[in-house]
Copies of this chain bind each other. A is one copy, B any other.
Amino acid sequence: MRVTFRDASEGDLPALVAMLADDDLGAGREDTSAPLNPAYLDAFLAIDRSPDQLIIVADTEAGIVGSYQLSFLPGLAYQGAWRGQIESVRVARPYRGQGYGSQMIEHALPLCRARGCKILQLSAHLDRTDAHRFYERIGFIRTHASFKLAL
Q: Spell out A's residues near B (CB within 8 Å).
A: 13, 16-17, 20, 26, 29-31, 37, 39-44, 46-47, 50, 52-53, 55, 69, 71, 73-82, 84, 87-88, 109, 112-113, 117-126, 132, 135-136, 139-151
In the complex, the answer to whether B40 meets A76 with C-beta atoms within 8 Å is yes
> How many copies of this chain does the complex contain?
2
| Main SS at interface, chain A | mixed
**B146 x A30 contact (CB < 8 A):** no
On whether the beta carbons of B55 and A150 are closer than 8 Å, the reply is no
* Complexed CA–CA distance, A26 and B101 (Å): 32
Which residue on chain B has the smallest CB distance to residue A112?
B151
Q: Which residue of B lies closest to A73 (CB)?
A: B71
- B76:A29 contact, CB within 8 angstroms: no
The answer to whether A37 and B140 touch across the interface, beta carbons within 8 angstroms, is no
Asked whether B151 lies within 8 Å of A143 as measured between CB atoms, the reply is no
Give the complex CA separation of A132 and B146 in angstroms: 9
Q: A75-B87, A140-B148 are in contact. List 11 more A-B contacts (CB 8 A).
A: A17-B76, A30-B77, A43-B82, A118-B150, A118-B151, A119-B148, A121-B148, A123-B147, A125-B144, A126-B143, A143-B148
